Amino acid sequence: MIKKILKGLAIFLLLAIIAFYFASKPTATKDGAYIPSPFALKLATSPTTDFDNTVYENPHTGNKKVLMVCTEERYMTMANGKKFSTGNHPVEMMLPILHLKNAGFEVDVVTPTGKSAKIEMWAMPEEDENIKKIYSEFKKKFENPGSLSDFVQNSMTDSTDYVAVFIPGGHGAMLGLPESKDMNKVIHWSHDNDMHMLAICHGPAALLAAGMDGNKESFIYNGYKIASFPDAVDEQGPMIGYTPGELPWIYGAKLNKLGVTIINEAADNTVHMDRKLISGASPQAANEFGKLAANELLKAVNK
C-alpha cells in the first residue's frame, strides 16, 4: 500500500515538474522573438489595475504639458542571443497618463526618431476599461509620435509649454534611450529649467543618458534616491521564463556607480520623490506614482 502511495506521489511530482517546465518556458512569437511564459504572465501581469480615478481639486487649466519619451525599439537581444519582445509597459504608460489628464495636463508622445512607440501588448490589462479607453484615445499618438530629435533641434530651447518629462517603464526603456544624445539634452534641459522628471520601473535606465561620460561627480542625479525595478528581480527573469535569457546588461548597477541609490528591494508599489525626480518601482506602483506626479505638478504650476 505504502509503495503504491509513494509511486503515485512520484508520478504526481514528475507530472508537476513537467507541467511547470512547459508553463515556465518563454512563448515564441511569429517574428522569431519571445514573450514571457504563461507562468510568468500569471505572476507579473493582471487583467485589471488599481486605478482609483482620483478627482483633483483645482485641476490645471493652462497650457502646461508633459513630454513622454517612449522607446521605438521592440527587441532586446539577450546574452544568449535570443530576442525578447518588449517595449514600454502599458500600465506604466497609461495609468499615470490617466492621473495627469485628470489633473488637467496634456501629454505629448515622442520617440527618438518619430517611429511608432513600442508597447508590451502581452501586459495589457484587458479587463480594465479605464486603461483600454485611454489606450484607444492615445493610439494614434503612439503610432505617429513626435521625434525627440526634432524636438531637441527645433523646439526644446525656446519651449515653455512643459512642466515635466515622463519616461515609462518596460525593458524597452533600456533600448536606445540610455545612449541617446538627445535624451541627454532633454534631461539637462528639464533639470536646468526646474522641471519634474518622472520615471517608473525600468524608466530610470534612460537617466543614464545624462552620464554617458561615466563621470559620477558631474552626473545630475548623483546622490539621489529612487524607486526602480531591482536588478536582483531582473536576474530571476530566466528562471520563470519572463525573459528568454539573461539581460545583456544591468542598468541599476550602472546607476549605482553614478551615485544613485535604489531604495526598494522588491518589484513592489514603492514610490519616491527626491527633489524634482519622481520614481516608482514597478507596475504595482503606477497608481500611486501617477497620483504623486499629478499632485506635485499641480503644486508647481499653482505657485
State the amino acid at position 126 in one-letter form: E
Residue 49: Cβ-neighbour burial (10 angstroms; 0-12, 13-18, 19+): buried
| Nine cell digits for residue 144 | 505617429
Q: How far apart are CA 219 and CA 238, in angstroms?
A: 32
Burial code of 180-211, b = ≥16 C-beta within 10 A, e = fewer? bebbbbbbebbbeeebbbbbbbbbbbbbbbbb
Cα 285 from Cα 265, distance rounded (Å)? 14
Question: From CA 236, how far away is CA 283, in angstroms rounded?
Answer: 17
Reference 229, options 253, 197, 264; nearest CA is: 264
Task: Tell me how far apart the alpha carbons of residues 191 and 23 are, in angstroms, rounded to a whole number.
Answer: 45
Active-site residue flag, 70: no
3-state helix, strand, coil in the chain (%, to 5): 40, 15, 40
Chain position carrying cell 513600442: 118
**Helices and strands in the chain, H and E counts:** 10, 13
- The CA-CA-CA angle for residues 87, 131, 205, to 5°, reads 30
187 in Cβ contact with 207 (< 8 Å): yes
Task: For residue 186, give the nearest of 231, 153, 226, 139 by alpha carbon.
Answer: 153
User: Which one is catalytic: 98, 201, 207, 210?
Assistant: 201
Catalytic positions are 201
